[in-house]
Amino acid sequence: MSEPAPRVAEGTVAAIVPAAGRGERLGPGTPKALRLLGGVPMLVHAVRNLAAARLVSLVVVAAPPDQVAEVRALLADHHGGAPLQVVAGGPTRQESVRAALAALPDEVAVVLVHDAARPLAPVELVDAVARAVRAGAEAVIPVLPVTDTVKRVAGDVVVETVDRSHLRAVQTPQGFRRAVLEEAHLDPGVEDVTDDAGLVERAGHQVVVVPGAEEAFKVTRPLDLVLAEAVWSRIRPGGSRGR
């Protein structure tokens, strides 16, 4: 069941939201993107922040294939800002991204890819990534320094301690010139790369970094959801810190 692509202006920035995962590490139940955070599905938080970004003119969500109609109805109820489209995701994250890419209108020149599982990524981060692509970068990723000591192991034996000063933990939204991302997604070895920038690197393009945001952490395991609830209760409108 597809819907017509919304009309957008030439050079538009679109945000793709892969949201079709089961969330197995979070435990059994509703697909992760539809699990509640502050009483609202995580996907709604993620879409709201993208749609509120100044530079984003279209949001395309890749939903669990058996829940496209529900997700469409859910977002119609909760959503304002940039126009929205919902497509069926695929069995892997990359296939979900590809399904959303295929739905983009021709006018879209810049694509952000943002995990539904990062519901609290701030609007300012979304705009900072989009701005960096608009300023000329082919690919842009938000990163944070690695705070844990990192070791390489073989089985249960430490082989070396890695110098973490050059390591960065990578977040989303990641931003790309559309043609660069589309070309990277043609790579047949695509499934063993965990983020879109990894594909773009492999295709030989330069990926640049911008400062990430702590709130853009990914909800992967049950403890992450506890943290997200605590963060949301502080940053939500009317929360203890306000917004």
Footprint on this chain of ligand CTP (rule: CB under 6 A): 18-25, 32-33, 62, 89-93, 96, 115-117, 218, 220
Q: For residue 214, give every residue at least 6 positions away whose Cβ sits within 8 Å of its Cβ, in sequence order, or none.
A: 144
Question: Of ligand CTP, Mg ion, none, which one sits near residue 211, judging by CB under 5 to 8 A according to partner kind?
Answer: none
Question: Of Mg ion, ligand CTP, none, which one sits near residue 20, judging by CB under 5 to 8 A according to partner kind?
Answer: ligand CTP
Question: Of ligand CTP, Mg ion, none, which one sits near residue 125, judging by CB under 5 to 8 A according to partner kind?
Answer: none
In whole angstroms, give the CA distance from residue 101 to residue 123: 22
**Shortest distance, position 11 Cβ to ligand CTP, whole Å:** 26
**Shortest distance, position 92 Cβ to Mg ion, whole Å:** 8
Which whole-number Å values give the CA distances from 142 to 114, 174, 198, 211, 217, in the listed order? Answer: 11, 7, 13, 5, 11
SS3 category, 110: strand
**Shortest distance, position 20 Cβ to Mg ion, whole Å:** 10
CA dihedral 128, 190, 91, 64 (to 10 degrees): 10
- Amino acid present at 92: T
Q: Which is nearer to ligand CTP, 86 or 131 (CB)?
A: 86
**Shortest distance, position 107 Cβ to Mg ion, whole Å:** 31
**Shortest distance, position 160 Cβ to Mg ion, whole Å:** 28
**What residue is closest to ligand CTP based on CB?**
21
The site map against Mg ion for 20-59 (x = CB under 5 A) is: -x--------------------------------------
Question: Of ligand CTP, Mg ion, none, which one sits near residue 30, judging by CB under 5 to 8 A according to partner kind?
Answer: none
Q: For residue 151, give every residue at least 6 positions away whose Cβ sits within 8 Å of its Cβ, in sequence order, or none.
A: 158, 159, 160, 161, 162
The continuous run of DSSP H or E covering 15 comes out as: strand 12-18
Which whole-number Å values give the CA distances from 215 to 20, 43, 105, in the listed order? Answer: 22, 15, 31
Q: DSSP letter at 24?
A: G
**Shortest distance, position 37 Cβ to ligand CTP, whole Å:** 13
Q: Which is nearer to Mg ion, 183 or 224 (CB)?
A: 224
The candidate with the shortest Cα–Cα distance to 13, out of 209, 174, 215, 122, is 174
Question: What residues numbered 2-21 form the site for Mg ion, per CB under 5 A?
Answer: 21
Q: Which is nearer to Mg ion, 21 or 119 (CB)?
A: 21
Tokens of 186: 């043609």
In whole angstroms, give the CA distance from residue 238 to residue 243: 8
**Shortest distance, position 53 Cβ to ligand CTP, whole Å:** 18
Question: Of ligand CTP, Mg ion, none, which one sits near residue 72, judging by CB under 5 to 8 A according to partner kind?
Answer: none
Q: Which is nearer to Mg ion, 61 or 82 (CB)?
A: 61
Tokens of 132: 């960096």
Query: Site residues (CB under 5 A) for Mg ion?
Result: 21
